[in-house]
Amino acid sequence: MNISNKDVNLIFLFNVLYEERSLTKASARLNLSQPALSHKLNKLRDEFNDQLFVRSGRGLSPTPKAEQMAKEVCILTNSIMQFYRQTEDQELATKTDKIHIYTTDFIELLVLPELIERVQQAAPYVKIITHNTLGALPLTAFEQGQCDIAIAGFYQDLPNHYYRQALTEYQFHVLYHRHNPMCQAPLDLETYINSQHVVTSLTGDLNGIVDQTLAKMNRKRDVVAGASSFLVLPHVIRNSNLMLTCLTPIAKHATGLYQDLACQKPPIELPVIKMEQVWHPRTQNDPLRQWIRQQIKEIFINQ
């Protein structure tokens, strides 16, 4: 057998199709159009003289031959990927580049210390630069190549060709001064809406998730101020009777930093905030940016 006549990329294609069981998901993962993927699938079928994957409902089902091949293909693919990872690790040590991340001060606090440490150890000539995402997906920066990764929990109307990866989920807590007379017992709704509140507003709009939830109940709270920072408001409410409803990690950080602050769960059920990182298709296969995204994912997992 002359292996030079074989297309080894078809092995990786088989592995992706077996894992995803969907042409749509496989095409997104491989950054291929549907027609291009269908063409490669036909080559894969010709290579092994079997249909391998057939349509079933909304997805694909492996044939008996595909099931028989799957274990060995998985081992082979993992071995090849490990080889390339080792090669990339060697290249990281001499790589020179700048990675631009658009996010919030809160995410900077959570991610930057460990991310910078990891980058300095593995890629000492790579620079990390963060920018304020200003409450919206930085589409212009993405399109102009000025943004590599955007991280937040409020991105909407994401273009279909962009990539996104879930990082973690956060709930809300109410933060207040420990001696606030309104908060000496578990908060009830009436006490909550009759108190004064401050909010984080990246766009200047004071009608946030809490207010939208209250509006559905035909209720309203008294918001007296908004700030563009997630981290400054815990300091603002010290020595006052103001309340701040914020993501739980922010509340926990603040109570650890300031002994005169305390927190508890809000008296209303609020939606969970799903943090994610987003990137443009042009950087999908860049080894350095793939590595950076993996480090960010690991940092969130380990928190």
**What would the DSSP string read from start to end of the chain?**
--GGGS-THHHHHHHHHHHH--HHHHHHHHT--HHHHHHHHHHHHHHHTS--EEEETTEEEE-HHHHHHHHHHHHHHHHHHHHHHHHHHHHHTT--EEEEEEE-HHHHHHHHHHHHHHHHHH-TTEEEEEEE-TTS--HHHHHTT--SEEEES---S--TTSEEEEEEEE-EEEEEETT-GGGSS---HHHHHTSEEEEE-SSS----HHHHHHHHTT---EEEEEES-SSSHHHHTTTSS-EEEEEHHHHHHHHHH-TTEEEE--SS--PPEEEEEEE-GGGTT-HHHHHHHHHHHHHHHT-
Query: What pLDDT shows up at residue 92?
Result: 85
Report pLDDT digits (tens) over 6-53: 788 888 899 889 888 888 888 888 888 888 888 999 999 998 999 999
Give the mean model confidence (pLDDT) for residues 90-103. 90
Long-range Cβ contact pairs of 77-81 (< 8 A, separation 24 or more): 77/11, 77/12, 77/15, 80/12
* 79 has pLDDT over 90: no
Closest CA relative to residue 14, chosen from 46, 53, 49, 50: 53
Mean per-residue pLDDT of the chain: 91
Query: What pLDDT shows up at residue 176?
Result: 97
* 174 has pLDDT over 60: yes
Query: What pLDDT shows up at residue 2?
Result: 58
Domains of the chain: 3-91 (1.10.10.10), 95-167+280-301 (3.40.190.10), 172-271 (3.40.190.10)
Query: What pLDDT shows up at residue 168?
Result: 95
Query: What pLDDT shows up at residue 3?
Result: 62
CB atoms within 10 A of CB 150: 26
Query: What pLDDT shows up at residue 58?
Result: 74
Give the mean model confidence (pLDDT) for residues 265-274. 96
Token couple for 183: 């908060």
Alpha carbons 177 and 242: distance in angstroms, whole number: 8
**For the whole model, what pTM was predicted?**
0.71
Query: Predicted confidence band at 86 (pLDDT cuts at 50, 70, 90)?
Result: low
Query: What pLDDT shows up at residue 88?
Result: 63
Alpha carbons 288 and 241: distance in angstroms, whole number: 48
Give the mean model confidence (pLDDT) for residues 292-302. 94
Report pLDDT digits (tens) over 211-250: 999 999 999 999 999 999 999 999 999 989 999 999 999 9
Report pLDDT digits (tens) over 18-29: 888 888 888 888
Which residues make beta-bridge pairs with 130?
101
Give the mean model confidence (pLDDT) for residues 83-109. 85
Report pLDDT digits (tens) over 99-118: 999 999 999 999 999 999 99
Query: What pLDDT shows up at residue 51?
Result: 94
